[in-house]
Amino acid sequence: MSMNWILRSLLFVPGNNERLIRKAAATKADALILDLEDSVPSITKQEAREICRQMIADGVLKGHHIFVRINDLQSGFCEEDFSRLIMAGVTGFIVPKSFGSKDIRSYDNLLEKYESNHGFARNTFKLIPLIETASAVLQAEEICRASERIIAIAFGSEDFCADLQAIHDNEDNVLRVPRALIALAARAAGVIPIDTLHVRVHDLPDLERNLQLSRNLGFEGSLLLHPKEIALCHGYFTPSPEEVNTAQKILKLAAEAEKNKVGVAIIDGVFIGPPMLRQAKQILARERAIKEWEEQRK
């Protein structure tokens, strides 16, 4: 379950590039994803594992949640990825091409084996499945419930479009339905929905348009390709001062109505019902959790 994990920004960085890893470590991203999959050629997989191990062991990446995107089950690299990167300082693993719950259980079983081999308690390491296929979108809730390790699911739009044989236009029309389904599935299962990365990395107005849509759909964070996206991302996935102020007013008015035995509390002409109260409490709880996270990472 998601608990109070703060995952507004998850920044990808190639696992075989020490310079970029150090650069990413200096950012304010909530999480860094050390990539052993798409951005690393087969011939340098082992080198990437050792670079990542050294960066983590040296404490270079402290102050971030650290996830490793491993290679998929059919790649021939998956078990070695787990074996070398199960270590102190790693939060968990991003698992690609999760077609259904069977794949998640396979990853879970491998993790349990390597946790035992390396002297870690069961479920020490968390999982974030990447939803990258039509099959995975349609089974997203089942995937979310397939392992206690899962704290979030993330949408991988480019692989999804390739699998669907769809056209990814500049308005992202093809992504609207899968985004909504992924957010719904995650919330139904009590895990965090993480939106897809923004491929047009130099178009910040377009990023902002996508972040607004993400927030409206219920996402809590996004995959990122470039550090310059972090500030915008945090702005959209952190409650604004206006939201916090309104949430506080709602709780205050509701409490006053109850104290005065008035059946109805109203704010700005709108009846304050149980859903508004619940949402106000969620906003204030998220604001507190973000503040605690920011203090913790100083």
Per-residue pLDDT in tens (0 to 9) along the chain, 298 residues: 445 899 999 999 999 999 999 999 999 999 999 999 989 999 999 999 999 999 999 999 999 999 999 999 999 999 999 999 999 999 999 999 888 999 999 999 999 999 999 999 999 999 999 999 999 999 999 999 999 999 999 999 999 999 999 988 888 889 999 999 999 999 999 999 999 999 898 999 999 999 999 999 999 999 999 999 999 999 999 999 999 999 999 998 888 888 877 767 777 777 778 888 999 999 999 999 999 999 998 7
What the block records as the tokens of 212 is: 């607004």
Taking a C-beta distance cutoff of 8 angstroms, is the pair 86, 120 a contact? Answer: yes
Which residues lie closer than 8 Å to 188 by C-beta, 6 or more apart? 141, 144
pTM > 0.85: yes or no? yes
Residue 202 bridge partners (DSSP): none
Sign for the pseudo-dihedral over CA of 267, 272, 276, 280: positive
φ/ψ of 104, rounded to 5, equals -65, -45
Domain-wise residue ranges, the chain: 9-237, 241-296
User: Is domain 9-237 in CATH 3.30.450.20, yes or no?
Assistant: no
- Rounded to the nearest angstrom, the gap between the alpha carbon of residue 260 and the centroid of all alpha carbons in its chain is 43
Return d(Cα 17, Cα 10) in angstroms, integer: 17
